[in-house]
Amino acid sequence: MNQYRVAADSLVRLQDHDPNDTGTYKHREQAADRTTQLKHTLDALQERLYAEGARAVLVVLQGMDASGKDGTIRHVMSGLNPQGCIVASFKAPTPLEHAHDFLWRVHASCPPHGYIGIFNRSHYEDVLVTRVHGLITDKEAQRRLRQIRAFEELLTDNGTRILKFFLHISREEQKARLLARVDDPAKRWKVSPQDLKEREYWKEYNKAFEEALAATSTSAAPWFVVPANHKWYRDLVVADRLAHALEEMDPRPPSPLGIDWTKMRKEVMKS
């Protein structure tokens, strides 16, 4: 599934990525066993990461409205131990946050060593929403993209593995999901008139995403354009890439020195 990875410093054209793609899987049932297996793998690897306490993982989820950021967290991360997992989201800056540089609040939300951190939307909002709505100039957007790249390099140099997922849905699929929310009283809280206004900027958001992905996908902090029209395949791709990254990290719990484990076992047996 590394085919969805954006090569460093490459041109990105979202129209070249099929949001309906399901790889070698033809239907949900075919992928279910693999997804379940990956969840078990993630559970074991997270425990090792937490016990090691020397490195962290940061998962960045971005995408259009209704692309499935919440669903990805709910389904892929459901097997993780909440004790070692942190979820953060970023809305409009507060007056205090606005008085600092745009990455100030983001750095404070990054996962400490031993943890998996998940950004449901992220620091990229400050080069997406702001740019689409003309709140910053193109020159300022480029400056921020350079700063993001340097910021992520700082994180990786200090032990944080970064995986960034753009959940790629079609405009038609977004419409279907918004309609489903409107028609379901239990889901109406997830949709607002602002969502419809933002939908009018579909082309502008696509362009902003393409430039952001191209400028900030690096070998250490790669972007993946995840086909997300089919939720089950979206979950499979994210789980697969996260498990692969953790396996590469191969976290190893420390072994306490100076302990006679044979004696320890005898003491436990007597207790």
Q: What are the tens digits of pLDDT across the range 235-260?
A: 999 999 999 999 999 999 887 767 78
Are 8 and 219 spatial neighbours (Cβ–Cβ below 8 Å)? Answer: yes
Computed over every residue of the chain, the mean pLDDT equals 95
Tell me the sheet residues that pair with 163.
59
The C-alpha atoms of residue 57 and residue 242 are separated, in whole angstroms, by 9
For the whole model, what pTM was predicted?
A: 0.94
Are 182 and 191 spatial neighbours (Cβ–Cβ below 8 Å)? Answer: yes
Q: What are the tens digits of pLDDT across the range 89-115?
A: 998 889 999 999 999 999 999 999 999
pLDDT at 119 over 90: yes
Q: Give me the mean pLDDT over the 204-223 stretch.
A: 97
Are 13 and 211 spatial neighbours (Cβ–Cβ below 8 Å)? Answer: no
Candidates 3.40.630.10, 3.40.50.300, 1.25.10.10, 3.40.225.10; CATH matching 2-270: 3.40.50.300
Q: What are the tens digits of pLDDT across the range 143-188?
A: 999 999 999 999 999 999 999 999 999 999 999 999 999 999 999 9
Looking at residue 91, what is its pLDDT? Answer: 87
Beta strand residue intervals within the chain, DSSP E: 56-63, 85-89, 116-120, 160-168, 223-227
Looking at residue 259, what is its pLDDT? Answer: 78
* Positive or negative: CA dihedral 15, 64, 77, 119: positive
Q: What are the tens digits of pLDDT across the range 39-93?
A: 999 999 999 999 999 999 999 999 999 999 999 999 999 889 999 999 999 988 8
Are 244 and 38 spatial neighbours (Cβ–Cβ below 8 Å)? Answer: no
Most distant pair of Cα atoms in the chain: their distance = 71
Q: Per-domain residue ranges for the chain?
A: 2-270
Banded pLDDT at 130 (limits 50, 70, 90): very high
